[in-house]
């Protein structure tokens, strides 16, 4: 329980019978389709399709300078069909107001998706088809706002996020600078198991990581290979194992293969 007391007092540890090792807690449909989704990433890579980059933007506004730099850097690459950029604003409409003000001259290349029906239809349409341009997602409720990232994740090549909850999801990731001190462990974990970059602590480091993931193929190939291997040893099985502990029913994975 270290760090859970706001006065810095040393707390009693949890009892050993309350602790279980499970793994990363990840949605079933994401884990179940790892082989297929990684195969699709490598297929798009070999076809030289625009690299799909998903950026998740929180509501605190603490990283707006970073996001502006990422979009500024990405726009020439979008225009050259090197990147397709996807920005999920969650349910934070004020970020959309800010974004429009920053990029008024580029509004003709922005495609907006502001309902769940549109988000789902668009995402399904690019599973096996090409995607281009700059796409912004904004929803009016927390469930759709959060689940949009989960739903988009499967059709993305790379996700850019601070190393918090999303650090543990099986998608190739660029970690931008953390907001909370505890988030450093998410970046360390992702780098250790090979599905992410290290934490990029400055804007130039973040943009360098974008260029590496766009211009070179070896990192994306490495991340996808590690994700498939990690699944085979149960790293992403935390949700399954938690249900197993709660119900007493033994979890057994069905045999899957890349499509």
DSSP structure string for 218-247? HHHHHHHHHHHHHHHTTTT-HHHHHHHHHH
For residues 95-105, average pLDDT: 85
Tokens of 22: 């499970």
Looking at the domain assignment, is residue 143 inside a domain? yes
* 258 pLDDT above the threshold of 60: no
What's the CA dihedral at 141, 142, 143, 145 to 10 degrees?
90
Q: Which of 61-70, 120-129, 212-221, 223-232 has the lowest mean pLDDT?
A: 61-70
Count of CB atoms situated within 10 Å of the CB of 231: 20
How far is it, in rounded angstroms, from Cα 33 to Cα 37?
A: 6
Rounded Cα gap, residues 127 and 136, in angstroms? 18
Total domain count for the chain? 1
Averaged confidence pLDDT in the chain: 92
Domain membership flag for residue 223 = yes
- Domain presence at residue 237: no
Report the Cα 135 to chain-centroid distance in Å: 15
pLDDT of residue 89 exceeding 90, the answer is yes
Residues 6 or more apart whose Cβ sits within 8 Å of residue 240: 28, 31, 251, 253
Query: Is position 99 within any domain?
Result: yes
- Burial class, 237, CB count within 10 angstroms (exposed 0-12 / middle 13-18 / buried 19+): buried
Percent helix / strand / coil, the chain, rounded to 5 = 50, 15, 35
Is residue 7 assigned to a domain?
no
- Residue 15 inside a domain? The answer is no
Residue 176 lies in a domain: yes
pLDDT at 156: 98
DSSP assignment string, 61-81? -TTHHHHHHHHHHHHHHHHTT
Report if residue 93 sits inside a domain.
yes
List the CATH number of the domain containing 225: 3.40.50.2000
Residue span of the structural domain in which 85 resides: 24-232
Using a cut of 0.85, tell me whether the model's pTM lies above it.
yes
């Amino acid at each position: 329980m270290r760090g859970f007391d706001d006065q810095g007092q040393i707390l009693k540890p949890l009892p050993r019978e309350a602790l279980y090792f499970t793994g990363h807690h990840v949605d079933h449909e994401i884990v179940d389709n790892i082989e297929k989704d990684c195969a699709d990433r490598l297929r798009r890579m070999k076809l030289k399709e625009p690299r799909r980059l998903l950026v998740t933007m929180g509501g605190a506004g603490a990283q707006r300078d970073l996001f502006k730099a990422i979009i500024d850097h990405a726009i020439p690459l979008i225009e050259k069909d090197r990147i397709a950029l996807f920005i999920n604003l969650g349910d934070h409409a004020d970020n959309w107001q800010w974004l429009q003000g920053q990029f008024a001259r580029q509004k003709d290349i922005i495609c907006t998706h502001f309902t769940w029906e549109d988000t789902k239809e668009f995402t399904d349409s690019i599973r096996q088809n090409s995607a281009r341009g700059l796409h912004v997602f904004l929803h009016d409720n927390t469930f759709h706002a959060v689940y949009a990232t989960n739903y988009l994740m499967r059709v993305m090549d790379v996700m850019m996020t601070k190393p918090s909850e999303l650090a543990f999801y099986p998608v190739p990731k660029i970690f931008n600078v953390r907001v909370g001190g505890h988030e450093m462990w998410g970046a360390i974990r992702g780098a250790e198991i090979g599905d992410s970059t290290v934490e990029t602590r400055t804007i130039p480091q973040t943009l360098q990581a974008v260029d590496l993931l766009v211009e070179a193929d070896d990192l994306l190939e490495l991340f996808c290979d590690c994700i498939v291997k990690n699944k085979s040893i149960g790293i992403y099985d935390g949700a399954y194992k938690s249900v197993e502990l709660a119900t007493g029913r033994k979890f057994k994975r069905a045999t899957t293969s890349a499509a």
